[in-house]
Amino acid sequence: MCERYPYAGHDTAAPDAESAHRPAAQPVFGTAPAQGSRRTRLWEMPGHTHCPVIGVCLPMPALRRLLGKIVAGGMLHDDYEFHVAAVAECGRRGAIAERLQRELDRRYAPTLRRYAQAKSGAALAALWSQALQGPDVAGALWATLTHARCEEDLRELVCREIHMFQHQVGACNRADLQRHEQLQDEHAVLSRELSTLKARRTHALAQRAAQLENLNAELMRARAQLIERDSALAIVREELAQLKATLPELATRLDLARRVELQRHRIHELERNRCAWQQSAGQDQQRAQALAQEVAALRAATARQQNAAQAAQRPCAPADLRDKAVLCVGGRTASVPSYRQLIEETGGKFSHHDGGEQNSPAQLEASLAAADLVICQTGCISHSAYWRVKDHCKRTGKRCVFVEQPSASSLVRCLRELDDLKTP
C-alpha cells in the first residue's frame, strides 16, 4: 500500500488497551436505507481504496499507456512512481481520473453488468465472496467498490480481504519466481539437449541425403545399362530378322541337316549291330542280309538327302583346283559322287581310295604319289591308312585336307580355309 494513504481510513494513532481487547463487531449488510442506482466514481471513493484499485485492477502496461499520454511520462522512472502518481490523481476529478474511470469501466464492463443485478448489500457481499474463489478478482473489486449498494462496512471488508489477497499473491509470485528460475534452468538443459539432437538429426539427414544420392546414381547407371542391353538386343533381333529374310530356305536346310544327322546316327548304330552279329557264332544269315539291305537303303536315302541339302546350300569350290589331281582317301560310298562332281566342276581330276578296306595299301601309295591335293576322311578311314596319308604329305610337302563330316559342305569349308591360308 502507498504510505501517503493510510490503510482503510483508520487513524494512525495506536488503539488504547480497551479497544485492543474489545471483540470486533461482525458487519451487517443490507441495513442501510435504499439508495439510487448511480455507481460511485473513482474520485468519489475513499482515499484508502485508490491504492488497491490501481494496483489490482490496472496492469502496469495499461497504466503507463494512460499516464504517458497526459502527464510527462518521461519524468517517471519506475513502476512505483507511476503507481503513486495515479493514486494521487484519483483523489480529485481531473483528466487522469476520468481517463482511469473510463478505462476501468471498459475493461470490466461484463462484470459491471452482472453486479448491477445485485439490489442489496447482502447480494453484493455474496457476489464478492464468490468472486474471491474465482479468477476475476480485479473485476469483482472494481464492481463492488463502485456499486451503489456498497456500504462502509462492506467496503472495509473488501479492503481487508484484498489486502490479504495481495500478500498471498505476492507469496505465490515469489514461489512462481523460484519455480520460474528452476524452469529456466531446465529449459537451458533441454535447449542444449535439443541442439545436440538437432545436430545429430542434421548429420543423419545429410548421411541419408548422401545415401539417397548414391542410390539414385546407381539407379541411373542401372537404367543406362538396361537401355544399352535392350538396344543391343534390339539390334541383334533386327540382324537375325535380316538374316532370316536373306535365307528363306534356312528352315529347310536346318530340317534336312537334322534328318541327315538322325540318319547318320541310325546308320552307325546299325553298323555296330551288324559287326556284333557277324562276330557272334551261329549268326542268322537271313537277318544279316535283311540288315544289309536296310543299311543299303538307309545309305541311299542319306545320300539323296545329302545331295538335296548340298543342292540347297549351293556350295562353290575354290578356283585353284583347275588341272590338279585330287585324291580322296576314305569316306562313305554315298559321298564319293558328290565329291567327284564338286572337284570336276572346278576342273580338277578326282580319284578315290577307300582307305584300306577293299583297295590295297600299295595302291594307296601310288595314288598319293600321283595326287596334287589329298582329301582325308578322318571319320571313315583305317588307322594305318590315316598314318600313311599323314606321313606321305609331311614328307612330300603336299597339302592335305582333313574332313571330319562326310558332306560336300564340310569339304568346301575345309578347302576354303586352305585357300585362305594360301592367300597373302
Segment of 46-55, 126-135, 218-227, 273-282 carrying the highest mean pLDDT = 218-227
- Higher-confidence residue: 92 or 250? 92
Share of the chain above pLDDT 90, in %: 10
Cβ contact 388:363 at 8 Å: no
In this structure, of 102-111, 173-182, 282-291, 322-331, the range with the lowest mean pLDDT score is 282-291
pLDDT (mean) for 389-409: 80
Residue 209's pLDDT is 93
Mean pLDDT of 300-326: 64
Using an 8 Å Cβ cutoff, are 376 and 400 in contact?
A: yes
| Residue 326 dihedral angles phi and psi, to the nearest 5° | -115, 125
Average pLDDT over every residue of 351-355 = 79
Q: Is the pLDDT reported for residue 204 higher than 90?
A: yes
* Whole-number pLDDT of residue 15: 37
pLDDT for residue 21 is more than 50: no
Residue 19 has pLDDT above 80, yes or no: no
For 230-239, write each residue's pLDDT tens digit.
Answer: 999 999 888 8
The whole-chain average pLDDT of the chain stands at: 76
DSSP assignment, residue 9?
A: G
- pLDDT level of residue 224 (50, 70, 90 thresholds): very high
Q: If pLDDT is split at 50, 70 and 90, which confidence band does 215 have? A: very high
More confident residue, 106 or 276: 106
393: number of Cβ within 10 Å: 19
Mean of the pLDDT values across residues 183-210?
Answer: 91
Q: What is the pLDDT of residues 59-118, one digit of tens each?
A: 888 888 888 765 554 566 677 888 888 888 888 888 888 888 898 889 889 988 888 888
pLDDT of residue 356: 66
The pLDDT of residue 265 is above 80 = yes
The answer to whether residue 33 scores a pLDDT higher than 80 is no
Looking at residue 18, its pLDDT comes to 38
Residue 201: what pLDDT? 92
pLDDT digits (tens, 9 = 90+) for 283-304: 566 666 777 777 777 777 777 7
Average pLDDT over residues 197-208: 92
Between residues 195 and 330, the one the model is more confident about: 195
Structure-model confidence comparison of residues 126 and 377, the more confident one: 126
Which residues are 248's β-sheet partners? none
In the predicted structure, residue 30 carries a pLDDT above the cut 70: no
Across 203-228, average pLDDT: 92
- Block residue for cell numbers 549291330: 273
Considering only residues 163 and 212, tell me which one the structure prediction assigns the higher pLDDT: 212
Sign for the CA dihedral angle at 82, 85, 87, 93 comes to negative
Q: To which CATH superfamily is domain 315-422 assigned?
A: BRCT domain (3.40.50.10190)
The three-point CA angle 311-332-411 to 5° equals 50
Q: How confident is the model at residue 132 (pLDDT cuts 50, 70, 90)?
A: confident
The better pLDDT of the pair 180, 325 is held by: 325
Task: Identify the residue whose cell numbers are 478505462.
Answer: 103
- Indicate whether 2 pLDDT > 60: no
Sheet holding 349-353, edge to edge: 349-353, 325-329, 373-377, 399-403
**Band of pLDDT at residue 8, cut at 50, 70 and 90:** very low
DSSP letters for 241-307: HHHHHH-TTHHHHHHHHHHHHHHHHHHHHHHHHHHHHHHSTT--HHHHHHHHHHHHHHHHHHHHHHH
- Looking at per-residue pLDDT, the higher value among 318 and 222 belongs to 222
Closest CA to 335 of 405, 250, 288: 405
Q: Average pLDDT in the 14-28 region?
A: 41
**Burial (Cβ within 10 Å: 0-12, 13-18, ≥19) of residue 303:** buried
Cα distance between residue 382 and residue 393, in whole Å:
17
pLDDT at res. 198: 92
